[in-house]
Structure 1
Amino acid sequence: MLLPHAQTLAQARSYVAALSDRALTIESSSAYERVLLELDRVHGDDCPALNTEDLTDDRDILLAVASSAVEELENYGVDPLSVELILAMLVDAHDLDIG
């Protein structure tokens, strides 16, 4: 994995983790955690560390940045179908979070 790919993946993972940390219910937090697991599975568990310090508390901004980073993973050879699955999981988790 090249550095730009690792940076994009780290950004996606960090923002999804922040969403999980700020989720309103255990169910929505678990749904975000499943998104993280899928990101890790797609990358063969070769994943950079999370960094959620100094990220906004606005869950809509976190969702937008996480979605953008996940979409960008296609540029680094991640299967487009896997990207779409992860995005769908992310939206489902967010919908569950906002009730």
Structure 2
Amino acid sequence: MLLSHAQTLAQARSCVAALADRALTIEASSAYERVLLELDRVHGDDCPALDTEDLTDDRDILLAVASNAMEELENYGVDPLSVELILALLVEPHDLDIG
């Protein structure tokens, strides 16, 4: 994995983890965790660590950054269909989170 790929993946994972931590319900948090699991599965569990400390508390910004980073993963050879499926998985927790 190239450094730029790892950085993009770390950004996506960190934002989704922050969304899980900041979710308003346990159901939304669990759904975000499922997104993380799928993202890790696509990468064969070869994933960089999470860093959520300095991220914003604004869930809309976190969602946008995570989505953009996931879309960028296609540039590093990640299957476009896998990326689309992960992005689709991100809809459920977001919907649960906004009530």
Normalised to the residue count of structure 2, the TM-score between the two structures is 0.98
1:91 Cα deviation after fit: 1.6
2:9 corresponds to: 9
**Alignment RMSD (CA, Å):** 0.5
> Matched residue of 1:86: which SS?
helix
1:20 corresponds to: 20
Q: What is the alpha-carbon distance in structure 2 between the residues aligned to residue 72 and residue 91 of structure 1?
A: 18
What is the correspondence of 1:76-91 to structure 2 with a 5 Å cutoff? 76-91=76-91
Q: What is the alpha-carbon distance in structure 1 between the residues aligned to residue 55 and residue 11 of structure 2?
A: 11
Q: What is the alpha-carbon distance in structure 1 between the residues aligned to residue 61 and residue 70 of structure 2?
A: 14
Equivalenced residues, count:
99
**AA paired with 2:42?**
V
1:96 Cα deviation after fit: 1.1
**AA paired with 1:41?**
R
1:55 corresponds to: 55
Runs in 1 of length 4+ with deviation above 2 angstroms? none
Structure 2 unmatched ranges of 5 or more = none
Normalised to the residue count of structure 1, the TM-score between the two structures is 0.98
Structure 1 unmatched ranges of 5 or more = none
2:31 corresponds to: 31
Q: What is the alpha-carbon distance in structure 1 between the residues aligned to residue 64 and residue 91 of structure 2?
A: 10
